[in-house]
Structure 1
Amino acid sequence: MVTAAPDAPLPELARHDQVLTWALPAGWRALSSAAVGGGLVEPRWVLNATVDGRFARTDLDAWAAETARAVGLDGPGCALLTAADVRQVEHAHRGGVSAWATVGVTRPTWPHDPRAVLSCHGGRRDDRRVTTAVHEHVPAPPGTVNIVVALPVPLSGSALVQALATATEAKAQVLVRAGVPGTGTASDAVVVLCPGPATASDASTGTQDGTMDPAAVPFAGVRSLWGRRVAHAVHDAVRAGLLTHPWTGTDADGSAGPVW
C-alpha cells in the first residue's frame, strides 16, 4: 500500500496592496495554469495580483519578478492576474487542504460555445465572423476566478494533474449551480501546491530504479481521499466568493455587469 509522508506545514497567505502572496520552502512543487510559472514547476512563491484596464505589460515574466521582489520574494514563481479585487480573497480548509479563491464572473464562458466560429477546423484570426477574441500574452480581462490549492502531502505527477482537474470541476459545479451561464471565464487559472517527495530523481516522482516513490500520493481525483478534500475546499472558497459577489447577468443594453 502506498502511504504518504507526514503532513507538511501549509504555506500562509500574505496580503499586500492589491497583491496576495504565498512563500514556499525549497522542494515544493506546483502544477499551474498561471500566466507566469505555468506547467509542472518548483516555485518559491505564488502571487495573485489585481490589474486594471490600464495594464499594458506584455513582458509578464519580468513584471511578475518585479512584483515579487517588491514584496520580498525571490527566485522562480507562479503569478496570477485578475481584475477582481484580491483583497476580497476567500479561504477554505478541508481535511488538511487549503484553498484560496478570488472570484469574478463578469464574463462567464462555456468550454464549447457554438457562437465561437474560431476553431481548429476553420476561422482565421482576421475572420470578421469570429465572436471570440484571440489573446496572446495579454493580462486577464475583467472577470476571473483564480484558485490556489495547497496540500500537505506530496502528489505524484499524475495526482497533481488529477488535483488540478478536481479543483476546476469543483469551481464549475459552484458556478453552474448558482445559475452562472458558464463553467468559468476564459482567463481563470489554478495553482496546485504540494511538498515534493522526500526521495525523487525527477519531476515525475520516480526513484532511481524507476519505481514510484512510496511517499507520493498516487490519486487526487474526485473520488479519492485527497481529491475529495481538494473538491470540498475549492467548492467552499469559490462559493463564498460568489455569495459575496453574485452573478448579476447583463444590463439592459447587453453590457456586462459589475467588475469586482
Structure 2
Amino acid sequence: MTAVVEPAPPALSAPPELLERDEDGQRLGALLWRPGSGWRAVSSAVLGGGIGERAWVMNVQVAHGYTRTDPEAHLAELARRAGLRGPGVGLMTAAEVARRGTGSDGGVEAVATAGIEVRGWAAAPGPAVPAPQAPGTINIVVTVPAPLTDAALVNAVATATEAKVQALLDAGHDCSGTPTDAVCVLARQPPADGPAEPFAGPRSLWGARLARAVHAAVGAALPAPGVS
C-alpha cells in the first residue's frame, strides 16, 4: 500500500493518511490514523473492537461483492503490509474512502465514510438474516482530546450514533443507518493519578462537541437522496 499526498483538513492529531492498494482487480483505498501512544479507543470494529489502548486505526475500502469470510485476518494482513505495529482498530467498508466527510468542534475531530445502498430502521420488522444485498456501511472515526472513563467512552458511541441518525434525517434519508455501520472513538489515556471525564452524552461538554462534529462529518459524507 502506498500513501497518496493530499491536502489535510485541520485536526488536533495528525489527519488520516490515504493509502491505496490493488486488490480484486481494483484500486482500493484506506484511511489510516496514527495517534501514537497515550490514546485508547472504544470501537465496534471487527478488528480491535472493544475498549483498550490503540496505536492506529484503519478504515479499509473493499470491493463491492466482498466474499471473504475472514475479515479480521484480512484487516490484520493489510495492517502488516502498511507496517503497523501494536494494537489497532480495523474497520471495513465498500464505500469510497477518499470521499470522506469531516467535522470538527472544540478540538473533537470526526471523519465519516458512507455507503447507504442497504439502509433501513434498526427496529424494522423482518428476518434476522436478510437476503444478500448490495453493500452499504457508514463508518465513523472520532478523536477526543480529553481522557474519558470507560462509561464515558460507551456514552460517546451512543452520542455518535444519535448524531449519525440526525444527519441521515437532515439529509432526507428515511433510515437510522445500515446493517453494518461501525464506529471508533479515540480519547486520551486517563492519567494514573488524575481525573477523567465521566460523561459523553449530547449535553455534556465533550459529548456535545462530539455530536456536532459527527453530524457534520456524516452529513458531508452522505450522497444526496436518490443517489447510492
1:238 paired with 2:218, answer yes
1:216 paired with 2:199, answer no
CA deviations over 1:115-147 (Å, ceiling 9, x no partner)? x144xxxxxxxxxxx7x249xxxxx96111100
Structure 1 residues not aligned, in runs of 5+:
1-8, 119-129, 135-139, 200-212, 249-256
SS at match of 1:107: coil
C-alpha contact (below 8 Å) 1:10/1:151 kept by paired residues: no
CA RMSD of aligned residues (A): 1.9
* Distance apart, 1:72 and its partner CA: 2.3
1:34 paired with 2:45, answer yes
C-alpha contact (below 8 Å) 1:154/1:217 kept by paired residues: yes
Determine the C-alpha separation between the residues in 1 that align with 2:108 and 2:209. Answer: 6
SS at match of 2:148: coil
Alignment of 1:110-259 (within 5 A): 110-114=121-125, 116-118=126-128, 132-133=130-131, 142-199=135-192, 214-242=194-222, 245-248=223-226, 258=228
1:56 paired with 2:67, answer yes
With structure 1 as the length reference, what TM-score do the two structures score?
0.75
**Counterpart of 1:169 in structure 2: which amino acid?**
E
Determine the C-alpha separation between the residues in 2 that align with 1:78 and 1:62. Answer: 12
Structure 2 residues not aligned, in runs of 5+:
1-11, 21-28
Determine the C-alpha separation between the residues in 1 that align with 2:33 and 2:206. Answer: 21
* Distance apart, 1:53 and its partner CA: 3.0
Query: What residue in structure 1 maps to residue 7 of structure 2?
Result: none
Between Structure 1 and Structure 2, how many residues are aligned? 209
CA deviations over 1:33-80 (Å, ceiling 9, x no partner)? 112111112221110111113533322232112211222212221111
| Identical residues among aligned pairs (%) | 47
Query: What residue in structure 2 maps to residue 14 of structure 1?
Result: 17
Change (3 A) 1:170 1:29: same
* Distance apart, 1:111 and its partner CA: 1.0
Q: Which has the higher contact order (CA 8 A, sep 6+)?
A: 1
Query: What residue in structure 2 maps to residue 127 of structure 1?
Result: none
Change (3 A) 1:225 1:141: farther
With structure 2 as the length reference, what TM-score do the two structures score?
0.85
Is the strand fraction higher in 1 or 2? 2
Determine the C-alpha separation between the residues in 1 that align with 2:62 and 2:169. Answer: 26
Determine the C-alpha separation between the residues in 1 that align with 2:187 and 2:94. Answer: 27
C-alpha contact (below 8 Å) 2:47/2:76 kept by paired residues: no
**Counterpart of 1:73 in structure 2: which amino acid?**
L
* Distance apart, 1:96 and its partner CA: 0.5
CA deviations over 1:201-231 (Å, ceiling 9, x no partner)? xxxxxxxxxxxx6431111101001000000
